[in-house]
Amino acid sequence: MKNITKFAVSFVAVAALFVAANAQAYTHMGTLKMGSTGSQVMELQKALNAKGFVVSSTGAGSPGMESSYFGAKTKGAVVAFQTANDLGKDGIVGLNTGAKLSSGSSTGGTSTVPGCTAGAAFSSTTGAPCTGGSTPTTPTGPLAGTVGTIDYSLTTGLSNEEVGEEDSDVKVAGLELDLDDSDSDVQVTAIKLNFDVGTAGNDFEDYADEVSVWLGSTKVASVEADEFNDDNDFEKTVSLSNAVIRMGDTKDLYVAISGVSNLDTADVSDTWTVDFTLVRFTDAQGATTSEDPTETAVTFSFESFATATDAELKISEGDDSINDAHVINVDATDDTDNVEILSFNMEAEGDSDLTIDALPITLTSVEATGNDPDDLISIVYLFAGDTEIGSENLSTGDADGSTEVVVFDDLDYTIDAGEEEEFTVKAKFYSIADTLDSGDTLQATFGETETDLATFEVEDESGEELADGDKTGTVAGGAHGVYDVGIMAKYISSTATATPSGVATVDDNGTFTIVFDVSAFDSDIYVDGTAIADETGGATYQDIDASTTSVASGVLSCSGCADAANSTFKVAEGETERFTVTVAGSGADVFAMASLTSILYATTAIDGDTLYAFNMTDFKTNSVWLDSN
Instruction: Read off the pLDDT of residues 369-412 as tens digits, 9 standing for 90 and up.
Output: 988 999 999 999 999 999 999 999 998 777 788 999 999 999 99
Instruction: Read off the pLDDT of residues 550-587 as tens digits, 9 standing for 90 and up.
Output: 555 678 899 899 878 888 999 999 999 999 999 888 88
Beta-carbon contacts of residue 399 (< 8 Å; ≥ 6 apart): none
**Torsions phi, psi of 562, nearest 5?**
-85, 125
Confidence of residue 533 (pLDDT cuts 50, 70, 90): low
Which has more confidence, 142 or 272?
A: 272
Name the DSSP letter for residue 91: S
**Torsions phi, psi of 204, nearest 5?**
-60, -35
- CA dihedral defined by 191, 192, 196, 202, rounded to 10 degrees? 100
Instruction: Read off the pLDDT of residues 477-508 as tens digits, 9 standing for 90 and up.
Output: 999 999 999 999 999 999 999 999 888 888 88
Q: How many CB atoms lie within 10 A of CB 59?
A: 12
Residue 148 has pLDDT above 80, yes or no: yes
Average pLDDT, the chain: 85
pLDDT given for residue 111 in this prediction: 41
Using alpha carbons, list the distances in angstroms from residue 57 to 129, 170, 202, 232. 14, 20, 26, 22
Axis-axis angle for helices 72-84, 39-50 (nearest 10): 50
Q: For the chain, what is the radius of gyration of the CA atoms?
A: 36
Helix/strand/coil for 99: helix
Residue 114 has pLDDT above 90, yes or no: no
Residue 534 has pLDDT above 80, yes or no: no
End-to-end CA distance of the chain: 84
Contact 322, 343 (CB under 8 A): yes
Calculate ∠ Cα 310-70-304, nearest 5°. Answer: 25
The strand pairing partners of 223, in sequence order, are: 211
Instruction: Read off the pLDDT of residues 81-92 as tens digits, 9 standing for 90 and up.
Output: 888 888 878 889
pLDDT given for residue 132 in this prediction: 44
Q: How many CB atoms lie within 10 A of CB 200?
A: 19
Mean pLDDT in residue range 316-322? 96
Q: What is the DSSP string of 181-206?
A: T-SB-EEEEEEEEEEE-TT--S-GGG
CB burial readout 11-45, b (16+ within 10 A) else e: bbbbbbbbebeebeebebeeebbbebeeebbbbbb
Confidence of residue 105 (pLDDT cuts 50, 70, 90): low
The whole-angstrom separation of Cα 1 and Cα 13 is 30
Residue 544 has pLDDT above 50, yes or no: no
Confidence of residue 11 (pLDDT cuts 50, 70, 90): very low
Axis-axis angle for helices 95-103, 72-84 (nearest 10): 70
Contact 377, 370 (CB under 8 A): no
Q: Which helix (H) or strand (E) holds 173?
A: strand 170-178
**Torsions phi, psi of 221, nearest 5?**
-170, 155
The whole-angstrom separation of Cα 605 and Cα 609 is 11
Contact 578, 460 (CB under 8 A): no
* pTM, entire model: 0.61
pLDDT given for residue 551 in this prediction: 58
Tell which residue, 451, 478, 485, has the closest CA to residue 465.
Answer: 451
The whole-angstrom separation of Cα 233 and Cα 518 is 82
pLDDT given for residue 225 in this prediction: 94
Tell which residue, 108, 136, 107, has the closest CA to residue 120.
Answer: 108
Beta-carbon contacts of residue 451 (< 8 Å; ≥ 6 apart): 315, 468, 471, 472, 473
